Amino acid sequence: MSETVEIFEMGPRDGLQNEKRLIPTAEKIALVDLLSTAGFRRIEVTSFVSPKWVPQMSDAAEVMAGITRAPGISYAVLTPNLKGYEGAKAAKASEIAIFASASEAFSKANLNATIAESLERFAPVAEAARADGIPVRGYVSMVTDSPFEGDVPPADVARVVAALRDMGCYEVSLGDTIGQATPEKIDAMLAVVLDEMPAAQLAGHYHDTAGRALQNIDASLARGLRVFDAAVGGLGGCPYAPGAKGNVATELVANHLAARGFDTGLNMTVIDQAANMARAMRVGP
């Protein structure tokens, strides 16, 4: 039996949030419904963020109401504050994610808050989710490189990981938001972060701007990580991270992992259909 590695599908959220064309809600729902047949255990569907900040995600409630949920799949959403949490709860999100940064400048750009302020804002969100029995995932952005400050010290990442752990996040996803990491930097960052959280509760979230995401996944596998975020078609990027391109493509990661002898449980025919659908959504009918 080969060892399992999970791909957490980000396409409908990280993949689409930065698209210039305002994608019709029905197209987003169709993508999620197709992805629900691909074998994923977790799909990030949308974000309950300010529509002024990310207009593309302003139909979060409609998307959540329109999808056909398959049993056994967790439908995740991003929540930056309590207002977002209330929206996520009303939409019956299976799990939520709070998203912090190891870079002060990115925290300001993405959340209009310092890192400390953002963590203060996330605490009541995590508390409410715990009271409601909704699992909380955490993100740390800019885990190696920041477009604002350059190299990000691993200790800064570890501090935020520890804060998210203490808030009760069941897993923390480590974001190379602008896709500039190298396997060496990922390894050095993980060496420090692993003092705060075990590999079984960490995920790699690597954008593929410089084409090194697969190498960064390999470096993370060597450190024991077994969950990776990816987006079908390789779409996306963060609107507040200059130079950020898409998440590494799900189809690329799945094929790479299969070649390395890992089992992702994904149906590649469906993945390829979804990648085509995602790419077509960029240009429209």
The residues binding Mg ion (CB under 5 A) are 14
- Which of residues 27 and 240 has its CB atom nearest to ligand HMG in the complex? 240
Q: Is position 95 an interface residue for ligand HMG (rule: CB under 6 A)?
A: no
Question: With CB under 6 A as the contact rule, which of the stretches 73-81, 152-160, 215-223, 265-273 interacts with ligand HMG?
Answer: 73-81
| CB-CB contact of 217 with 248 (8 Å) | yes
User: Rounded to whole angstroms, how far apart are CA atoms 139 and 141?
Assistant: 6
Burial class (CB in 10 A: 0-12, 13-18, 19+), 42: buried
- Residue 122 within binding range of ligand HMG, rule CB under 6 A: no
**CA 264 vs CA 71, 202, 222, 254: distances in Å:** 18, 17, 17, 7
Token match 């697969």: residue? 214
Contact 206, 145 (CB under 8 A): no
240-259 binders of ligand HMG (CB under 6 A):
240
Q: Which residues pair with 5 in a beta bridge?
A: none
CA distance 194 to 78: 24
Minimum Å gap between C-beta 14 and ligand HMG is 5
State how far the Cα of 101 lies from the Cα of 110, in Å rounded to an integer: 9
198 to 217, contacts with ligand HMG by CB under 6 A? 205, 207
Residue choice 175, 204, 233, 246 for contact with ligand HMG (CB under 6 A): 175
- Least separation, in Å, of the C-beta of 127 and ligand HMG? 17
Q: Which residue is nearest to ligand HMG (CB)?
A: 175
Q: Does 41 bind ligand HMG (CB under 6 A)?
A: no
Comparing CB distances to Mg ion, the nearer of 75 and 206 is 206
Q: How far is the CB of 248 from ligand HMG (least distance, A)?
A: 11
Catalytic residues: 238
Which CB atom, from 205 or from 212, has the smaller least distance to ligand HMG?
205
Provide long-range contacts, Cβ within 8 A and 24+ apart, for 72-75.
72/41, 73/36, 73/40, 73/41, 73/42, 73/43, 74/41, 74/42, 74/43, 74/135, 75/32, 75/43, 75/45
Under the rule (CB under 6 A), what is the footprint of ligand HMG? 14, 17, 47-54, 78, 80-81, 83-84, 87, 99, 110-112, 139, 141, 175, 177, 205, 207, 238, 240
